[in-house]
Amino acid sequence: MSAARALGRLLLDGRLVAGCVEWNGERIRAVRTDLAAEELARAQAGPLIAPGLIDLHVHGYGGSDPIEQLPEMARALARHGTTAFQPTLFPAAPAEFGALAERVTASAARLDDGARVVGLHLEGPFVNPASAGALPLAALAAPSPAALRELLGPAGGSGRGIRTITLAPELPHALELVAELARCGIRASLGHSLATADEARAAAKAGASGATHLYNAMRPFHHREAGLVGFALSADALYAELIGDLVHVGRDAIDLALAARGPRAICLVSDALRGAGTGCERFHSHGREHIAQGGAFFYAGEPPKLAGSALGQLEQVQKLVARGVVGIEDALTMASLAPALALGIERECGQLAVGARADLIALRGPELALEAVWIGGHPQAL
């Protein structure tokens, strides 16, 4: 195993500290801040060294999608600072959705480079048709134990690599599904929902642990009915995703989320579509034309309908910092440690710590330009 090191300003516990990260093979063996004067000066002038970014919600990137081009998608994400991700699938009928998940997981098992897959995220099919947003209505299904069995298959989802399922807790039988998912070790994330705060609270008691793209496709917050938004912001039960392209969510709502929960509980996700990371202005996917505007993709039409993001995680970090919405430390924490905590893999990745994987990024200058990426200690081509 080869030893390597990176010298610079390290993101440690939400602060930037001059130091050095050393690793052997794929694991970090030392994180040092007790540097001699000469090395300390070099570190202070060096790049920002942060954990690799972890995307809990990404439908595609770099012209690729997880169903047909997962290896290409994984490599494209790695070239842009995301070192681990949950490929996120649009809904289908339960039996078909389960078979599709199994197919993507088999493809993930064959990956030998690029960003790592840390389980699949199924967005639906058990969501509220009245809050479907960009999800295809014809592909949604009513929650039931039988439908969940069709989706998970005989191994209870483990053989299909399913790690997260987005569902609407207010639908009949949804709480039964939340409890069953918890028994299977699968995260239930609440979203595409018109749930009240009480309904969200009941789902959390049943085992739900996430909120899918906070604010979007949810009952709006109201001072007499706070809804899922209010519950996610006022209780510690849910890790909340947040899309940081400044189109899906405005800066004041981002400020509110951070003031309420802090950066360790708000997971910056891309919700990127296949055209993200290509610079394209238009692309076709799932039979629909998509148009880029202001950092997001919209379905063509009058009026255009918000469909997903045109920015990856690092691009969102750069935009949030450049606009003065979020500080560097908080933005990177939201994109690395918070997702790791949400998945329960914080000892494995998401922070610079001895024993963790050497999944790292190096950023240079005030524009946070990506200078280097390591995954499991191996440098990645940019």
On whether the pTM is more than 0.95, the answer is yes
Catalytic residue among 55, 245, 271, 359: 271
| Structural domains of the chain ordered from first start | 52-349 (3.20.20.140)
CA–CA separation, 217 and 337 (whole Å): 25
CA distance 7 to 39: 8
> At 257, which helix (H) or strand (E)?
helix 251-261
How far apart (Å, rounded) are the C-alpha atoms in residues 55 and 271? 8
Q: Considering only CA atoms, which of 105, 102, 9 is closest in space to residue 20?
A: 9
Kindly write down the DSSP assignment for every residue of 311-324, as one continuous string.
--HHHHHHHHHHTT
**Cβ pair 108, 117 in contact under 8 A:** yes
CA angle 151, 342, 114 (to 5 degrees): 80
List of residues 6+ apart from 162 with CB closer than 8 A:
101, 119, 120, 122, 151, 152, 186
Backbone angles phi, psi at 160, to 5 degrees: -105, 5
Please provide the DSSP assignment of 258-288 as one string: HHHH-TTTEEEE--B-TTTTTT-SEEEETTE
Active site residue 245: no
Task: Check residue 100 and give its pLDDT.
Answer: 96
What is the number of alpha carbons within 13 Å of residue 84 lying toward its C-beta? 25
Start-to-end C-alpha separation, the chain: 23
- The 3-class SS string of 90-152 reads CCCCHHHHHHHHHHHHHHHHCCCCCCEECCEEEECCCCCHHHCCCCCHHHCCCCCHHHHHHHH
Rounded distance between C-alpha atoms, residue 109 and residue 88, angstroms: 16
Query: Going residue by residue through the chain (382 aa), what tens digit of pLDDT does each one get?
Result: 568 999 999 999 999 999 999 999 999 999 999 999 999 999 999 999 999 999 999 999 999 999 999 999 999 999 999 999 999 999 999 999 999 999 999 999 999 999 999 999 999 999 999 999 999 999 999 999 999 999 999 877 677 999 999 999 999 999 999 999 999 999 999 999 999 999 999 999 999 999 999 999 999 999 999 999 999 999 999 999 999 999 999 999 999 999 999 999 999 999 999 999 998 888 887 778 888 999 999 988 778 889 999 999 999 999 999 999 999 999 999 999 999 999 999 999 999 999 999 999 999 999 999 999 999 999 999 9
* 3-state secondary structure (DSSP) of residue 86: strand
